[in-house]
Structure 1
Amino acid sequence: MPSPPAPEIVPDSQARGLVAALPPRVRALALLARFDRPIGWWLLFWPGAWAIALAGGLPTRWGLLIWFLIGSIVMRGAGCVYNDIVDRDLDASVARTRHRPLASGAISVAAAWAWLLALCGIGLIVLLQLGTLARIIALASLVLVAAYPFMKRITGWPQLWLGLVFSWAAPVGWAETWGSVSLAGLSLYAGSIAWVVGYDTIYALQDREDDALIGIGSSALSMGRHVHAGIGICYAIAVAGWTAALWQVRADPLVFLAVLPAALHLLWQVATLRPADGEGALRRFRANRATGLLVFLACAAVGTTL
């Protein structure tokens, strides 16, 4: 009996579009910060945008939304640079990541550290636009960010830690807009964490064989043959958290209708997912940009009626 075809691996560093037109040195820095892959900063941005919208920040605080978008782009880039500095040896052992600038030797570690500091400098400008409480909450995330690259070495569930990190904009945006931390903001954060675990498990399906060989953990490996059910449970918890947040802001049955499009989109992801199809998994992971937009529209609909 012939063996099943190997899953298609989509390289993590692909210079296309505007990035491909950059000079080689600048292109390497852009790839290091994943500027060629905007899905990452969209996923980092959405939880903060949800919080601003649900807390009643729209339409008066569009400027804050733009600052959050800028912060998401540069801090996602900084996080990727830091992650690649820590993981450069592991990345060289994984088919999808071996062409990253540090793993391939296209850029030096010293240059990567300098680039990281430059991105953090821009992030500091964004931080200074926030009030005191939001600044304190934002700075507290640095501990989580610093620890994240090491989680795959010590736990089979690094995606849960990533959820804490990638959802952190929600409490920051809530505190800045609402003026304090509330149960609604925490429910939004909890829903976002579950969402991140779900979509990053889909993303991690591309690396299951390599991760098992080099001995690092991932939720895709931990869920094993129950990966469909595991992702489905994560997404169900996410929808429950979002619904609870909206309900606490406005106790109206229309809340359920507002969340329904996002819930159906997540259901489509799980129902059509084929774990052995690396390219298909990547498409469903990227589809979460649309999930973020649908949740944002739900938050805006509820938040603007306060």
Structure 2
Amino acid sequence: MTTHLPDAAPTNWVDRHAPSALRPWLKLGRFDRPTGIWLLMLPGWQGIALAAAMESRWPDPLLMAAFFVGAALMRAAGCAYNDIVDRDFDAKVARTAARPIPAGQISVRQAWVFVVACAMISLAILLTMGPVAIGLGVASLALVAAYPFMKRITWWPQAWLGLTFNWGALLGYAAVTGRVDWPAILLYAAGVFWTLGYDTIYAVQDLEDDALAGVKSSALRLGDAAPKAVLGFYVTAFVLALAAAWVGGLGPLFLPPAALFGVHLSRQAARLDVRDGVAALALFKSNSLAGLLLVIAMTAGMWDGPASAL
């Protein structure tokens, strides 16, 4: 039996430090759960680092900061939109019943205002980038809009989340180069499988509630086979990340941190227990470090020779 978890740790910074009037709004944007911000931002950083490494230079810190702010705001907008769409489902799931909309702390109309405000600020940041990056940013809205409905029509909403969350890899690469090349496409594909793995782990928390509510997920579809499937997703992600580095001509210093990335993913799959929701949440959260290791690997790849050295 999986263990039910609160939507965020009771020691999160919002509950401890934020003014009471702001807490529902911060929770609507999931600022009490920063792991999601990292997981949305890190593919963008990976794309920036890959493009910079191909030009043998450091990633632009100002561009990386812009991606951090943009990811935080778009994640907040996406979570609020998701809560608007899923408010009836959320009320039936123990982990999500206390979210601001199903709990009656924020109305649907107020939540829409929040979504639009976050999106407009993000758009202002996006407009500072080149036309290809701007086009990619606008195109991502179709993925965001469709995501909440995937759990109603497919057992694999985690795959759609992968397509959505890793769009930043293409956008970050395009923000540096002004185009999208094969290294960026391979990196994006690697991210899709990475997300398919970690979000399957995340879905382990809600196995019983999702089944009762009629919500579909990869964790429900896979059942006891989830650990082996997650390992397969992660192996595919690792191979595709190597391919992105090879096609991009990165040097051999890419390999040591990339190896740590691979080891980190394999340990997650080995430790996954579909009956232990608490451990699954911890494994999910550890992907912030996994994604950062790949950023470091891409950055390190700017040194020491062509792809033939890999």
Is it true that 1:19 corresponds to 2:18 in the alignment? no
Shift of the alpha carbon at 1:254? 5.2
Structure 1 residues 34 and 137, CA gap change in structure 2 (3 angstroms): same
Report what 2:211 is aligned to.
212
Structure 1 residues 15 and 130, CA gap change in structure 2 (3 angstroms): farther
Is it true that 1:29 corresponds to 2:25 in the alignment? yes
Report what 2:308 is aligned to.
none
Report what 1:199 is aligned to.
198
Shift of the alpha carbon at 1:7? 2.7
Shift of the alpha carbon at 1:16? 3.9
Report what 2:270 is aligned to.
271
Shift of the alpha carbon at 1:42? 0.1
In the alignment, structure 1 segments of 5+ residues that lack a partner are: 1-5
Is it true that 1:99 corresponds to 2:95 in the alignment? no
Secondary structure of the residue that 1:98 maps to in structure 2? Answer: coil
Secondary structure of the residue that 2:18 maps to in structure 1? Answer: coil
Report what 1:3 is aligned to.
none
Shift of the alpha carbon at 1:60? 5.5
Which deviations, in whole Å up to 9, do the C-alpha atoms of 1:259-286 show, x marking residues without a partner? 2100000111111122111110000000
C-alpha RMSD over aligned residues: 1.6
Report what 1:148 is aligned to.
147
Q: Is the 8 A contact 1:55 1:303 kept in 2?
A: no
Which deviations, in whole Å up to 9, do the C-alpha atoms of 1:76-118 show, x marking residues without a partner? 0000000000000000001111111111111111111111111
Distance in 2 between residues matched to 1:231 and 1:89, nearest whole Å: 29
Report what 1:291 is aligned to.
290
Report what 2:38 is aligned to.
42
Shift of the alpha carbon at 1:34? 0.3
Distance in 2 between residues matched to 1:245 and 1:201, nearest whole Å: 24
Report what 1:222 is aligned to.
221
Distance in 2 between residues matched to 1:305 and 1:31, nearest whole Å: 45
Which deviations, in whole Å up to 9, do the C-alpha atoms of 1:47-74 show, x marking residues without a partner? 1101111111652611100000000100
Shift of the alpha carbon at 1:37? 0.6
Report what 2:121 is aligned to.
122
Shift of the alpha carbon at 1:251? 6.1
Structure 1 residues 77 and 304, CA gap change in structure 2 (3 angstroms): farther
Letter of the 2:6 partner, please give it: P
Shift of the alpha carbon at 1:257? 3.6
Distance in 1 between residues matched to 2:26 and 2:254, nearest whole Å: 41
Q: Is the 8 A contact 1:156 1:222 kept in 2?
A: yes
Shift of the alpha carbon at 1:8? 2.1
Is it true that 1:242 corresponds to 2:241 in the alignment? yes
Letter of the 1:9 partner, please give it: H
Letter of the 1:184 partner, please give it: P
TM-score between both structures, scaled by the size of structure 1? 0.94
Report what 1:10 is aligned to.
5
Structure 1 residues 248 and 159, CA gap change in structure 2 (3 angstroms): same
In the alignment, structure 2 segments of 5+ residues that lack a partner are: 306-310
Report the more deviating stretch, 31-40 or 109-118. Answer: 109-118
Letter of the 2:24 partner, please give it: A
Secondary structure of the residue that 2:21 maps to in structure 1? Answer: helix
Structure 1 residues 38 and 218, CA gap change in structure 2 (3 angstroms): same
Distance in 2 between residues matched to 1:43 and 1:224, nearest whole Å: 25
Is it true that 1:112 corresponds to 2:111 in the alignment? yes
Distance in 1 between residues matched to 2:102 and 2:267, nearest whole Å: 35
Which deviations, in whole Å up to 9, do the C-alpha atoms of 1:125-170 show, x marking residues without a partner? 2111211110001110101100000000011100000000000000
Secondary structure of the residue that 2:216 maps to in structure 1? Answer: coil
Report 1:50-129 matches (<5 A): 50-56=46-52, 58-59=57-58, 61-129=60-128
Secondary structure of the residue that 1:25 maps to in structure 2? Answer: coil
**Could you tell me the percent identity over the aligned residues?**
45
TM-score between both structures, scaled by the size of structure 2? 0.93
Secondary structure of the residue that 1:103 maps to in structure 2? Answer: coil
Q: Is the 8 A contact 1:46 1:293 kept in 2?
A: yes
Letter of the 1:7 partner, please give it: T
Aligned residues: 301
Distance in 2 between residues matched to 1:131 and 1:178, nearest whole Å: 9
Q: Is the 8 A contact 1:13 1:97 kept in 2?
A: no
Distance in 2 between residues matched to 1:229 and 1:60, nearest whole Å: 36
Q: Is the 8 A contact 1:9 1:278 kept in 2?
A: yes
